[in-house]
Amino acid sequence: MFISSKKWLKIFFIITIFFTLLVPIYNYLIDYNAIFDHKFSQSYRAVSQGAQLLTKGISIQRPPYNRNQFFLLTDLYSSTQTPEILILGTSRTFTISQNDFHEETPRILNASINGGNFPGIVATWQSFKKTHQTEDLIVIVEISPDAHKHAFAVEFGSFNPRVDALVKEFTAEYPELTFTPVNQILKKNHLFSLDYFLKNILAEWTNAFTPATSDVYGIIKPDGSNRYPQFTMDIINAEKQKNADLLTEKFQKVGQMQGDHMSPFLSIITEDIIASGATPIFLLPPYHPSTYDDTLEKSNILVFTENWVREFAEQHDIMVLGSYNPHMFHLTDEFFLDGNHTFENAWGKILNTYRISK
């Protein structure tokens, strides 16, 4: 059967239009990275299911690294919980569990966001305040060596509009902090992205946010803590050196900064927590011994920053947990996943030495 060139052209245009429409529709409906943040996406429904399982006391499968999904899960789950201690941090603190504290420690909720950094901490706290009475709450805040940053830079691909809106609300109250809004053009680019289309297809084959049956990607427990997959990752010397060099290069000039000019964020988050009726506690997560020692050979940033944080805490009667110095708690190589992330067994050695009470 002969098909004319006009019919072939029509068929070509029909196929082209079909796939042109298929990509944005599919990306919007699956949205594995929670970029469009709507309740009808497959990603949102999966995360919501995970939050419901955690509410029932059931541990769930941890997804592959996806900070947007981590934030959405934490946001949905924390809105249903009434902890006495709230932990705000990043992937450096998200393995902390209730069992790591002294047995008399009040109930915790670890709301640390993998890859969250300061925007994640602020967004989680801002959202929590909206759904909870925060009087008498204890808030443990991770303080990293870059606590002197003067601004937030919330970029697409890092977080979704939900985080963007919450950070905007917070920074609006404090003119000392600047705010970089999400680039909406990048949002549209994701809608028509073939790369995002392929990632959405792959995302449908994961079993993330279902009841925990294995530790391929790790587990999230009802207290909000994460457990890494049960494997041992050797620390490569090049990776240790990379971490040390990164810290040194990024913060080597911090010693030239003094006083309140060094960290509007630290004073502001402290002020905001106290104003809400809660009690702040600072947490200094340790570095791998090699990362710490290599950094000290080139810069005093870790010692300088820790001393500065402790001085600030003493002036404001704030408790400080942990230390950047792993030697203080006799933490050796086997307690670390890599140059700056600890396994869960490290936190028991650190936090069990403190008594936290309301």
Are 47 and 73 within 8 A, CB to CB?
A: yes
Residue 258's alpha-carbon distances to 156, 179, 322, in angstroms, are: 32, 23, 23
Are 287 and 333 within 8 A, CB to CB?
A: no
| Domain membership of residue 320 as a residue range | 31-351
184: Cα separation from own chain's centroid: 22
User: Which residues, other chains included, contact 56 with Cβ-Cβ below 8 Å and sequence gap of 6+?
Assistant: none
What is the average pLDDT score of the chain?
83
Asked whether residue 23 is domain-assigned, the answer is no
Asked whether residue 237 is domain-assigned, the answer is yes
Please tell me the distance from the alpha carbon of residue 282 to that of residue 267, in angstroms, as a whole number: 12
CA nearest to 223, candidates 342, 60, 91:
60
Average pLDDT over residues 17-44: 84
Asked whether residue 21 is domain-assigned, the answer is no
Asked whether residue 130 is domain-assigned, the answer is yes
Q: Give the containing element (helix H, strand E) for 314.
A: helix 301-315
Structure tokens at 260: 């309140």
Asked whether residue 118 is domain-assigned, the answer is yes
Asked whether residue 5 is domain-assigned, the answer is no
Asked whether residue 13 is domain-assigned, the answer is no
Asked whether residue 49 is domain-assigned, the answer is yes
Are 176 and 268 within 8 A, CB to CB?
A: yes
Per-residue pLDDT of 186-232, as tens digits, reads 677 888 888 998 888 888 777 889 999 876 668 999 999 998 875 54
Per-residue pLDDT of 10-20, as tens digits, reads 666 667 666 66
CA nearest to 58, candidates 228, 281, 223, 230:
223
**pLDDT reading at 282 higher than 90:** yes
Number of domains in the chain: 1
Coil, helix or strand at residue 320: strand
**pLDDT reading at 152 higher than 70:** no
**pLDDT reading at 64 higher than 80:** no
Dihedral of CA atoms 307, 142, 279, 255 in degrees, nearest 10, equals: 30
